[in-house]
Amino acid sequence: MASPDGGRGPVALVTGANRGTGLAIARELHGRGYRVAALNRTPSGESWMHERICDLADPAAVDAALEEVLSGFGRLDACVTNAVARAFAPIAELDVADWDESVAVNLTSVFRVVQATLPYLRRSGGSYVIMGSHAGTRFFEGGVAYSATKAALKALVETLLLEERVHGVRATLVSPGAIANLDGDDTPYKMATESVARCVGALVQDQPADLVVGDVEIRPARLPDPQISGIARLQHV
């Protein structure tokens, strides 16, 4: 199968790139010269993005989408897993279906994406950027599904780095605090999606040859008002 656009040059895969941080990351990589493929649950409407509509909670759909993207381009130079399911409720009240979806999207789909793309990243000496969260280390009431799955990514990325560094593959866990992900959100104590995307772009393209950045925590430059509590404050400390 020929490359979807018949083009040449590096290829990046981004999951959850239809809006917010994922879309900003895709735009940043596109601006850096990458052809960008995306696994999105809903379309972005961006003509430059090679989208495969895919529910990342469905393992068979993930495998089929990856096969199409990888066989279509025939190469991969960077992979950013950004898609996320957010379900918040106390343990006593959390719907089991919400727990299962969180595990499927936030953790299992990352594993499947990494496993399928590894042969391509080995060939290109490419980079993984796995988007975590401050919630992976800063736990809060009602956040068990989100925090547990984000915390597990630390083990996945560290193991990936230990196993694949010998093959020239880099892996970085990026754990952000609060991001202004929703359109029109100009909250002063949240990071702009474009700022987060610049960080990711630098990790993908600008790391010196003699080092690898394994774990990055990024925080908003400003703190929220003292009366703010819960996850909003925990992700700013």
| Alpha carbon distance 135, 151 (integer Å) | 8
Query: Residue 117 is encoded by which pair of tokens?
Result: 């793309």
SS3 20: helix
Looking at residue 7, what is its pLDDT? 73
Give per-residue pLDDT as tens, 114-155. 999 999 999 999 999 999 999 999 998 999 999 999 999 999
8 A C-beta contact, residue 67 and residue 79: no
The 10s digit of each residue's pLDDT in 33-55 is: 999 999 999 999 999 999 999 99
| DSSP codes, 50-88 | EEEE--TT-HHHHHHHHHHHHHHHS--SEEEE-------
Q: Flag the least confident range among 5-19, 170-184, 217-231.
A: 217-231
Residue 237 has pLDDT above 50, yes or no: no
- From the list 128, 14, 116, the residue with the least C-alpha distance to 70 is 116
pLDDT digit string, tens, across residues 185-236: 888 889 999 999 999 999 999 999 999 999 999 998 877 666 666 555 555 5
Residues 165, 181: Cα–Cα separation, whole Å: 32
Which helix (H) or strand (E) segment is 127 a member of?
strand 127-131
184 or 59: which carries more pLDDT confidence? 59
Six token digits for residue 56: 């990342």
CATH code of the domain occupying 11-234: 3.40.50.720
**Tokens of residue 172, six digits:** 């970085």
Active site residue 146: yes
CB atoms within 10 A of CB 14: 32
Backbone angles phi, psi at 174, to 5 degrees: -105, 120
**pLDDT for residue 226:** 64
Please give the mean pLDDT across all residues of the chain: 92
Write down the domain spans for the chain.
Answer: 11-234
DSSP string, 132-147: --GGGTS--TT-HHHH
Q: CB–CB of 38/15 below 8 Å?
A: yes
pLDDT of 100 reads: 98
Q: Catalytic one among 34, 120, 146, 189?
A: 146
3-state secondary structure of 180: coil
Q: CB burial class (10 A; 0-12, 13-18, 19+) of residue 188?
A: exposed
Q: With pLDDT > 70 as the criterion, what percentage of the chain qualifies?
A: 92
